[in-house]
Amino acid sequence: MTASRHSGWNSLLLSVLLAAPPAWAGTDDLAGPRYRIQGFAAQGLIGTTNNRFFGDSRDAASAEFTEAGLHGTWQPLDALRISGQALYRRAGESDEAGLRLDYAQADWQFYQSDVTRFGLRFGKVKLPYGLYNETRDVPFTRSGILLPQSVYVDNSRELLLAAPGAFLHGASVQKYGATDFQIGWVRPAFDSESVEYSFLGNARPGKLEGRGALGARLRWDLPTETTLMLTYADARGEYSPASGDLLAAGKVKFRNTLFTLQQRLDTLTLTAEYGEPRFTLSGFGPWLPDSQRHVQAAYLQGEWRFRPDWELMLRHDVFYRDQDDRNGRQFQAATGLPAHSMFAHDWTLGLRWDATPSLMLRAEYHHVNGTAWLPGPDNPDLINREQHWNMWLLQAAWRF
């Protein structure tokens, strides 16, 4: 028995050699049928104390967390694979878009040998960001109902998930392990209410548009069941003010280096990620002065598969909006807003049961100190957010 659903060396090779479907899609060779279709659906129930998360969850139960997806792959040529996913997602006030095209990409593998491959992926591509981003919309591949919010902030998921562009990728399998790299350019999606809350502090009447982003990731999977990863992202956006807008035409810059370490030990999987995002705002005028902020984001997580169909997860997640003002006191003195808006410490306990190969049930509890990653659209009143709050979640997910 092994702890990780992705820990077998053959499974690692499949993921490293890119263009492979998600783990839940199966590993049968496409040389038979040249296309495959899979899908999933999940419904969550969320309750919180003091604050709201994905709907009216405060001292109540919100059922406004729904996910469903239909994924397809088609291989018209041996060197070309086309894949895409239609997604329905509802997450309270933070995500009301409903049905959307999650991604649609073509992957051309222009060089292939026994141990090395190179390819070009283009279209609306999944962004290689950290360990979980490329499969974060599939509940079965996540480490919990929610991913660590310090690194995979749901407030900014539209920015991090997928975007039009292209990535050059390569992979190699040697005696010291399997390595792969991805590097490319995309035009990220800044224009969402949640992203505006993250960068501009509130929803604005103008339009915040992405102008370009460079992304790169290097991954090394060792035969010792160890994964090392380095991710780099550099994105830019521009704000076009509306008529009578308090803000001028300004620019947003986002840059991050993310370090990942995962170790699999029989029935136990340990994962840690650490990032230092940098945000720069300029040109917005006196209502939003020029600023530069150095963020710190990290989590440590353990997953214990104590029975073949049961898994226990424990995670500690920390997030500081400004590493020079971790307790938020300088921010409070300058703005009058609560200091706890600048940090969040989250202890998470989760339980997963794979009731059948197609049905997964999960329960999760969060004890949070701080509101730095609390969804803005669900909590528009910044003054009355509570520093200490708890959250419980239940989720049922089905796949076919």
pLDDT of residue 19: 40
Confidence of residue 52 (pLDDT cuts 50, 70, 90): very high
Q: Is residue 2 part of a domain?
A: no
Average pLDDT over residues 281-294: 86
Q: Is residue 324 part of a domain?
A: yes
For 153-175, write each residue's pLDDT tens digit: 887 787 888 899 999 999 999 88
Q: Is residue 1 part of a domain?
A: no
pLDDT of residue 24: 35
How many distinct structural domains can be found in the chain? 1
CATH of the domain at 285: 2.40.160.10
Higher-pLDDT residue of 348 and 15 is 348
Q: What is the pTM of this model?
A: 0.87
Confidence of residue 243 (pLDDT cuts 50, 70, 90): confident
Q: Is residue 18 part of a domain?
A: yes
pLDDT of residue 11: 41
342 and 43 in contact (C-beta within 8 Å)? no
Q: Is the pLDDT of residue 41 over 70?
A: yes
State the average pLDDT for the chain. 87
Q: Residue by residue, what is the 3-state secondary structure of the chain?
A: CCCCCCCCHHHHHHHHCCCCCCHHHCCCCCCCCCEEEEEEEEEEEEEECCCCCCCCCECCCEEEEEEEEEEEEEEEECCEEEEEEEEEEEECECEEEEEEEEEEEEEEEEEECCCEEEEEEEEEEECCCCCCHHHCCCHHHCCCCCCCCCCCCHHHHHHHCEEEEEEEEEEEEECCEEEEEEEEEECCCCCCHHHHHHHHCCCCCCEEEEEEEEEEEEEEEECCCEEEEEEEEEEEEEEECCCCCCCCCCEEEEEEEEEEEEEEECCEEEEEEEECCEEEEECCCCCCCCEEEECEEEEEEEEEEEECCEEEEEEEEEEECCCCCCCCHHHHHHHCCCHHHHEEEEEEEEEEEEEECCEEEEEEEEEEEECCCCCCCCCCCCCCCCCEEEEEEEEEEEEC
pLDDT of residue 240: 86
Show the domain range for 358. Answer: 9-399
Q: Is residue 69 part of a domain?
A: yes
Q: Is the pLDDT of residue 258 over 90?
A: yes
Q: Is residue 247 part of a domain?
A: yes
Q: Is the pLDDT of residue 312 over 50?
A: yes
Average pLDDT over residues 88-99: 84
Q: Is residue 3 part of a domain?
A: no
Q: Is the pLDDT of residue 228 over 50?
A: yes
